Structure 1
Amino acid sequence: MVRASLLAALLIVLAACSRDGALGPFAESQVPPALTPRFYPPEGWAWGFIGVGDKPVQRYGVGSTRRVPTATIVVVPGYGETAEMWFETASDLIDDGYTVWILDRAGQGGSGRYVAPRDLGHVPTFDPDIAALREFVRVVVRPAPDTPLVLLSHADGVVVALSAVRAGMKADGLIASSPQLANVEPGRRLLGSVRRSDTPPPGWKPWSRETPDDREAGSTHDAWRGKVGQAWRVANPDLRMAGPSLGWTKAYEAASRLTETGAAQTRTNVLMLNPATSADALCQRLPQCRVETILGARPAMHLEADEWRMPWLKVIEAFTETRPQTADQAPVSPVRPRP
């Protein structure tokens, strides 16, 4: 459990706060003029901040259906993503009757930063991400007992989501979209200690307008959705992200290794969509996990062309509408059959 001292220091701010220099949180993002309305914030979208202990606060956003929601979905983005990049998907899910929350990752998006420059992704460990997600769900989201709670993670966000569940956070299900764990080659030790873990790796370059967008980076086929993240960063300098620090990479490796070793203690139903090899191997070790493949889709399926994005949305909605059986109710097996 989170220590009492951390709980006492829990900070929740329900309105946009002012920035504390270059490292402070940021919520008042300006809509890029180049975007069409489908990429705007969902109707009634609201921002807030949550912090645990003395760590930089993290930004979250929320939108909900006008009717009684049939489920609550909490999005855990991947590295370098901002909540803004999920607005179109959030709107689609809200229209289908869900409440959608998005929690920006520690040191990324609109969350406060650990170090300068602001576009250097750095955390000393994934523990703040994991603790913040647990307290966010427990204290802010507070899902109703009769409303399923489903985590929707992307890429390395699966490490945060699975770790939070393993640490005791209650969730009815977890969807991992293009999940990936850090690739630590057999026989190689984790990235060793470095003199300054909050420094960029050799060859690191700051964000610039020449930084490849998501289509150019091979994350999506869609030319328009591929420009969404870049458009938000051009219009909002505080959201810009380049590559991670040495410390972030070390923290990712350590958290991935712990996720693998603690797989048997993960008590929720997991669906992995187009997992990387490392995540697929992990799925076989989880008590309840299955894999589905959307052939031809690139990793950022929330930004993919409709040929792949629409089937992706249908799988998410089908999983969410079927209240998953909890691991306490289901027999535990180290391997689940693949479809």
Structure 2
Amino acid sequence: MTERRTTTDELVVPYPDGSGGQGRIVAQVTRPETGPVPAVVLLWPALGVSASYYAPLAEELARQGYATVATDLRGQGRSRPRCGRGTRHGYQDFAAQDWPRLVRAARELFAPDTPVHLLGHSIGGQVSLLYVARPEADVDGLMLVASGTVHHRRFPGLRRAGVLLGTQLAAFLSVVLGYYPGHRLGFGGRQSGAVMRDWARIGRTGRFEPAGADMDYEAAFAKVRLPVLAVSVAADTLAPPTAVDALCDRLGDCAVERVHHTPADPSLRGHTRWARDATGMAPHLTTWLRQVSGHLDPGQP
């Protein structure tokens, strides 16, 4: 395979912030400097993780010929406005507004027939699941990496009680304070209270029923027909294999390929550190992309 030089640009997508102002969602677009792009990976991060954290993976994919659009979640990273007491968005706004906007923007950057695949990490995968169940969904495949249900019953042993307590405590704090102070608690960053309450509902019930939903997502999951790659990661206590499998179970009629990744360097194992294991993770993604797209390796003539 011939590795390519890469380039990174910024993509800014505006949106009405719900209070009469203008918000923006910011993404980093990493692609080969020259040559055709056989597929685009639209990457959605975990809670409190900025798009820039995935730069090593995006660079590795670009060296192998693929483009990555790594997006800061609404209110996170370089996206504005930042989350606070006046923030009201939840999973429904992500799935019905932000995901469609970024899919359209990503498609406009490349040739019209270029496949676009979602890559969701943690909550990024959960919301991607909601998006692909929507009638307007316009992607060619779904990749879930370190992304599982947060339903407490799908965690092993004593972790069940910890997950239930943690998710419900996050919801309680978001009600009392008007937002979730994850930047002070060491988990998830500063978040909209509505996001954490939607998250906690999944943790309690196992059902994807976001506040303000305009459709029955649980019923719609059965209608999804997409190729899916689901990767669990060694030492991931937040998305163990049982939780990843449970998320995949929602898409029972999809062609799901399951992979378990163990980074060679133990320090790169776990829920977020895998993103720095670019040379280890990328082969799982590129092999699957070649299979579902039916194209040659981008480095081949």
Same fold (TM over 0.5): yes
SS at 2:197's partner residue? helix
Cα distance in 1 for partners of 2:82, 2:55 equals 26
User: Aligned residue for 2:178?
Assistant: 198
Cα distance in 2 for partners of 1:177, 1:152 equals 7
User: Aligned residue for 2:290?
Assistant: 321
Distance 1:63 1:115, change over 3 A: closer
* 8 Å Cα contact 1:75-1:101 kept in structure 2: yes
User: Aligned residue for 1:82?
Assistant: 50
SS at 2:40's partner residue? strand
Distance 1:247 1:173, change over 3 A: same
Q: Percent identity?
A: 19
The farther-off stretch of 311-320 and 274-283 is: 274-283
* 8 Å Cα contact 1:107-1:123 kept in structure 2: no
* 8 Å Cα contact 1:64-1:99 kept in structure 2: yes
* 8 Å Cα contact 1:124-1:251 kept in structure 2: no
Tell me, which stretches of 5 or more residues in structure 2 are unaligned?
A: 155-163, 210-216, 233-238, 264-268, 295-301
User: Aligned residue for 1:46?
Assistant: 9
* 8 Å Cα contact 1:123-1:251 kept in structure 2: no
Larger proportion of strand = 2
Task: Give the Å deviation of 1:246.
Answer: 4.1
* 8 Å Cα contact 1:69-1:99 kept in structure 2: yes
CA shift digits 1:249-277 (9 cap, x unpaired):
11224576246554213231111101532
SS at 2:54's partner residue? helix
2:248 is aligned, of 269, 275, 283, to 283
The farther-off stretch of 139-148 and 312-321 is: 139-148
Letter matched to residue 227 of structure 2: N
SS at 2:258's partner residue? strand
Task: Give the Å deviation of 1:184.
Answer: 5.1
2:132 is aligned, of 165, 170, 173, to 165
Letter matched to residue 53 of structure 1: P
User: Aligned residue for 1:227?
Assistant: none
User: Aligned residue for 2:98?
Assistant: 132
Tell me, which stretches of 5 or more residues in structure 1 are unaligned?
A: 1-41, 212-216, 218-240, 326-339
User: Aligned residue for 2:198?
Assistant: 251
Task: Give the Å deviation of 1:198.
Answer: 2.6
CA RMSD in angstroms comes to 3.4
- 1:303 paired with 2:283, answer no
Aligned length: 243
Larger proportion of helix = 2
The farther-off stretch of 107-116 and 190-199 is: 190-199
Cα distance in 2 for partners of 1:183, 1:243 equals 22
Distance 1:266 1:100, change over 3 A: same
Task: Give the Å deviation of 1:299.
Answer: 2.3
**Correspondence list, 1:168-183, <5 A:** 168-183=136-151
Task: Give the Å deviation of 1:124.
Answer: 3.2
SS at 1:291's partner residue? strand
SS at 2:58's partner residue? helix
**Correspondence list, 1:65-144, <5 A:** 65=32, 66-113=34-81, 115-116=83-84, 124-130=89-95, 131-142=97-108, 144=111
Task: Give the Å deviation of 1:43.
Answer: 4.7
Cα distance in 1 for partners of 2:229, 2:12 equals 29
SS at 2:179's partner residue? coil
Distance 1:69 1:295, change over 3 A: same
* 8 Å Cα contact 1:148-1:320 kept in structure 2: no
Instruction: Report the TM-score when normalising by structure 2.
Output: 0.68
CA shift digits 1:2-38 (9 cap, x unpaired):
xxxxxxxxxxxxxxxxxxxxxxxxxxxxxxxxxxxxx
Cα distance in 2 for partners of 1:253, 1:116 equals 18
Task: Give the Å deviation of 1:79.
Answer: 0.8
User: Aligned residue for 1:266?
Assistant: 224
Cα distance in 2 for partners of 1:177, 1:155 equals 7
* 8 Å Cα contact 2:13-2:24 kept in structure 1: yes
Distance 1:200 1:64, change over 3 A: closer
* 8 Å Cα contact 1:106-1:123 kept in structure 2: no
Task: Give the Å deviation of 1:149.
Answer: 1.5
Task: Give the Å deviation of 1:100.
Answer: 1.5
Distance 1:245 1:183, change over 3 A: farther
Task: Give the Å deviation of 1:181.
Answer: 2.5
Distance 1:51 1:160, change over 3 A: farther
